[in-house]
Amino acid sequence: MKNLYAVLPFLLYLLVTPSTAQTEQKPNILVIVPDDLGWSDVGYQGSEILTPNIDRLARNGKILEQFYVMPTCTPTRVSLMTGKFPSRFGVLAPAYGEVIDLGTPTLPSLLRDAGYFTAIVGKWHLGSPPYTPLKYGFDQSYGYFDGQIDPYTHEYKTETELTDRRSWHRNDQYLDEQGHVTDLLTAEAIRIIEEQREKPFFLYLAHHVPHYPLEETEAYLSLYDDKPQMHPSRKLFAASVSHLDEGIGKILKTLEETGQRENTVILFLSDNGGQKSWQSTEHYRGKYADKPHSVLGNNYPLRGWKGDLYEGGIRVPGIINWPGRLASGKMSLPVHMADWLPSLLELVGIPNPERQRIDGESIWKYLQNPEASPQPTRSFYWKIKGASAVREGDWKLLVRQDGSKELYDLKADFRETRDLSREHPEKVKHLMGLLESYRKDDRD
């Protein structure tokens, strides 16, 4: 009996804080992906939008000054899940049906095989039923299958051969539920964090906002009452981001209250640049016909918008935060979404399967020490419908379907105001060769 009393405090500790005690060696991983958040749509980038919790992640974490994605959502998410450029799967734009080949090793499947509990909360957009999250390595799924939904009805914009208006689901089974999408996703993320389990968790929280269509309550709109010069639809956009930020604050508080904050790596990554505007008289049963979203994201001072291969479409806010393990500051090394799969695998000590040829490279040692040398000369590749681009070092070449080419020195001209293709034909030739080498592994 005395022995029982001696161990009772330890047993109570395990019951109260199982995650802290049992995941000490392997950290929890939380990946937060807002939808269509532009370069200047967060406070720490100088935006007028109020994002105190995201700013806290940035202030106490590492800001990725050159974080690259694809210019639209599905392709970016393919890179996150597989570590590959999406053109390897023939994905050049938002897509449905079978997007990622069934059986392809994915970030959640590799982490699950290594003992992680894996969950997706929010936007999937990596396949239409039956190509749903549980088929690709997630233990649990909750949210919506399609590209964009109404914040309250949770319906997709229309019906197609591959999609239905119904999109909201739990564990890949359709579900009808009431509430604002941001609140529902935040509540589900909190539930997963609070749940007692023996395994560390990988939680992919893919938010709806600030993607159109947007609808927010006065509680969030009133945050911008002191900005009468703000366009009404930009105010709506800002309110949605502040709503998102509030949810992130609740999640951070939950991690702290459950004793898991110091053992949780948090990534905050937008999926593409901000969208300029949106209007539709037909989508969502015409609900937004008289509610044009005339002013949405802000990518200033970068050139271009969502869908472009200019920096404004592919260079986005990115933060990694791990208190006590990664020093705060900024990292200027160019990073691509495809880099997270090998980086996170290295972090938790999982060898990348030999059968999995990927495009991403682990950046973990540079995150630990941004001054580590030698600094690599990174190269990246983008392919969309009608255009391709490649970056090597500070040089970026953009090639359109009609054969026209644009060359930019991003170190001297990150706003891409001066096309140098005529002045540096040798650089164009070299980068065209690199582009062709990347294209060889694409799926037509």
Euclidean distance between the first and the last CA atom of the chain, given in angstroms as a whole number: 71
Q: Residue holding tokens 């992906």?
A: 33
Classify 16 as helix, strand or coil.
helix
- Contact (Cβ atoms closer than 8 angstroms) between residue 344 and residue 327: no
- How many CB atoms lie under 10 A from the CB of residue 153? 17
pLDDT for the residue 10:
40
Report which of 296, 297, 206 is spatially closest to residue 247, judged by C-alpha positions.
206
Determine the residue type at 88.
R
Report which of 440, 265, 444, 435 is spatially closest to residue 357, judged by C-alpha positions.
440
For 21, half-sphere exposure in the C-beta direction (CA atoms, 13 angstrom radius) is: 12
- Contact (Cβ atoms closer than 8 angstroms) between residue 97 and residue 131: yes
Instruction: State the Cα–Cα distance between residues 123 and 23, nearest whole angstrom.
Output: 27
Report which of 271, 210, 212, 269 is spatially closest to residue 77, judged by C-alpha positions.
271
Cut 0.95: pTM above it: no
- Contact (Cβ atoms closer than 8 angstroms) between residue 367 and residue 330: no
Q: CB-based burial of residue 440 (10 Å sphere; 0-12 exposed, 13-18 middle, 19+ buried)?
A: exposed
Beta pairing class for 28-33 and 201-206:
parallel
- The token pair that represents 105 in the structure block: 């090793």
| Bridge partners, 278 (sequence order) | 293
pLDDT for the residue 165:
95
**How does pLDDT run along the chain (444 residues), one tens digit per residue?**
434 444 444 443 344 443 333 345 799 999 999 999 999 999 999 999 999 999 999 999 999 999 999 999 999 999 999 999 999 999 999 999 999 999 999 999 999 999 999 999 999 999 999 999 999 999 999 999 999 999 999 999 999 989 999 999 999 999 999 999 999 999 999 999 999 999 999 999 999 999 999 999 999 999 999 999 999 999 999 999 999 999 999 999 999 999 999 999 999 999 999 999 999 999 999 999 999 999 999 999 999 999 999 999 999 999 999 999 999 999 999 999 999 999 999 999 988 765 568 999 999 999 998 777 667 799 999 999 999 999 999 999 999 999 999 999 999 999 999 999 999 999 999 999 999 999 999 998
Q: CB-based burial of residue 415 (10 Å sphere; 0-12 exposed, 13-18 middle, 19+ buried)?
A: middle
Beta pairing class for 117-123 and 67-68:
unpaired
- Contact (Cβ atoms closer than 8 angstroms) between residue 310 and residue 181: no
Which run of H or of E encompasses 174? strand 173-174
Instruction: State the Cα–Cα distance between residues 181 and 155, nearest whole angstrom.
Output: 11
- The token pair that represents 26 in the structure block: 């392997």
Classify 320 as helix, strand or coil.
strand
Determine the residue type at 135.
K
Q: Residue holding tokens 């995941």?
A: 23
Instruction: State the Cα–Cα distance between residues 249 and 57, nearest whole angstrom.
Output: 10
108 alpha carbon, distance to own chain's centre: 14
Cis preceding-peptide flag for 210 (omega within 30 of 0): yes
